[in-house]
Structures are given as C-alpha cells and as structure tokens.
A and B are shown apart, each in its own frame.
Chain A
Amino acid sequence: ETGVTQTPRHLVMGMTNKKSLKCEQHLGHNAMYWYKQSAKKPLELMFVYSLEERVENNSVPSRFSPECPNSSHLFLHLHTLQPEDSALYLCASSQAGTANEKLFFGSGTQLSVL
C-alpha cells in the first residue's frame, strides 16, 4: 500500500459516542496533519504534528483529541461531538523542512453526527 490511508471512509455517530479516526502514511514523511472540510468552506487546518510533536492546535474544541504515536500513524479521537462537526476529515503528510513542501492527502473520513 502506498500514500496516505484513512479509516473508516464513512462514520455515523451519536453525540454521546466516542470514536477514533485513523491515518497511516507510507511515504516516509516526518509531519502529519488533520484538516476539516465543511461544505462551502476552505479546508481548515486542525492539528499539525512534526517529528511526533504537536506544533499547532488552531483553537480546535477539546472534543477533538489528536494522537501521534509515531511518524507513520495519526489518530483523531472524537467524543461528545455536535451535529455541526459533521464534515469530511482529511489527513495529510509532508516532509517538513524541505523547500517547496507539498502535502499528500488521504481520501478522508466523511463524518455525520446525529
């Protein structure tokens, strides 16, 4: 398998549920990202991990909790979400510190909160 893979592709959860999104990158990159895409909005950067250390939080609500156990894996733990959190959640990776850095995205998890 190559690139950036995300699971699950689709997730429906109630507001009291706890679930986790998983991301794995096979590109040997040293930085990983969570982005949120809501309808008719730009992609919003949620979290950045560089060398497994979180470097940016962007004022994301605490009901979203990221975890990066190593440079290849990234999780987004979800609990007590709201219906307005329904969106496409995209994981990306890059080789930070290189000139003209590009992000490589996974296919995303389409999340619906009921």
Chain B
Amino acid sequence: DQQVKQNSPSLSVQEGRISILNCDYTNSMFDYFLWYKKYPAEGPTFLISISSIKDKNEDGRFTVFLNKSAKHLSLHIVPSQPGDSAVYFCAASSGGGADGLTFGKGTHLIIQP
C-alpha cells in the first residue's frame, strides 16, 4: 500500500505559467515533507521541504503548501521555466533518525516554450 501518492504521472505547462504538482499521503505519523527534482541519468536533488508545524514554505519561485487535515501537499512553481522540466518526487518522513524517506512515484513536468 503506497503511503505517498502522486496521482499525476505527467504534467505539461506553458513557460511563464504556474506549475502545480500534487501529493497525498496516508500515514498520519509523517511530520516532514520534501520535494526532490530529478533529471534523466542523475540522482534526485533536494528542492524544498516543509515541517508539519507549518502550512507554507517559500523559496524563490518554489512554494510548498501543506494541508494536514486533508493529508495533502502541493508544490507551486511560478513562473515556470524550461529548466524546470524534470521528474518531481514527493517524499515524507516521520520521527527523525535514520529511517530514510518514503517516496511517491513522481510526476514528470514538461514546460512548453
């Protein structure tokens, strides 16, 4: 049973517009959420994160929103740029310690010129 779900395998957005990537989770013990970006033939790189005590975290063009009651988080990218084309993974962890992260399947974001 998947604990972190990204239900959109792909998303196409026009350059300059807003990209919104969604993620749902089922484990109420998760208290820290991360987004990773992955280019082909490279490992995932950390993008932005949010702790469960917050509902929003912003870093430049990237904003992550957390709705704990709905067990839902989203990543907003505005404005979208061609270099944003990549696979985005949502990940979650609980309790700290070396437990690793639980990942979703990823969403392939394609920015159209």
Find chain A residues with CB under 8 A from B99 CB: 48, 56
Give the number of A-B contacts (CB < 8 Å).
72
Nearest-neighbour CB distance to chain B for A37, whole angstroms, equals 9
Find chain A residues with CB under 8 A from B2 CB: 42
Chain B stretch 29-67: residues in CB contact (< 8 A) with chain A: 32, 34, 36, 41-46, 49, 51
- Whether A105 touches B98, Cβ cut-off 8 Å, given contacts A42-B103, A43-B89, A100-B51, is no
The residue in A30, A31, A92, A105 that gathers the most chain B C-beta atoms within 10 A of its C-beta is A105
Nearest-neighbour CB distance to chain B for A105, whole angstroms, equals 3
Q: Is the CB of A107 within 8 A of B43?
A: yes
Q: Which residue of B9, B42, B46, B105 is within 8 Å of A42 (Cβ)?
A: B105
Find chain A residues with CB under 8 A from B9 CB: 40
Q: Is the CB of A104 within 8 A of B97?
A: no
Interface assignment of A97: CB less than 8 Å from any CB of chain B: yes
The interface residues of chain B, by DSSP majority, are classed as loop
Q: Is the CB of B49 within 8 A of A100?
A: yes
Number of contacting residues on B, CB 8 A?
27
Interface assignment of A11: CB less than 8 Å from any CB of chain B: no
Number of contacting residues on A, CB 8 A?
34
Find chain B residues with CB under 8 A from A41 CB: 105
Interface assignment of B86: CB less than 8 Å from any CB of chain A: no
Q: Is the CB of A101 within 8 A of B96?
A: yes
What are 6 A-B pairs with beta-carbon distances under 8 A?
A: A40-B105, A42-B2, A42-B106, A43-B103, A45-B102, A103-B100
Known: A42-B2, A98-B96. 13 other contacts (CB 8 A): A6-B43, A31-B98, A41-B105, A43-B44, A50-B98, A90-B43, A96-B98, A100-B32, A101-B96, A102-B46, A102-B49, A105-B44, A107-B42
- Those 10 A-B pairs whose CB atoms lie nearest each other, nearest first: A105-B43, A50-B98, A96-B98, A31-B98, A43-B103, A45-B100, A42-B103, A107-B43, A42-B105, A105-B44
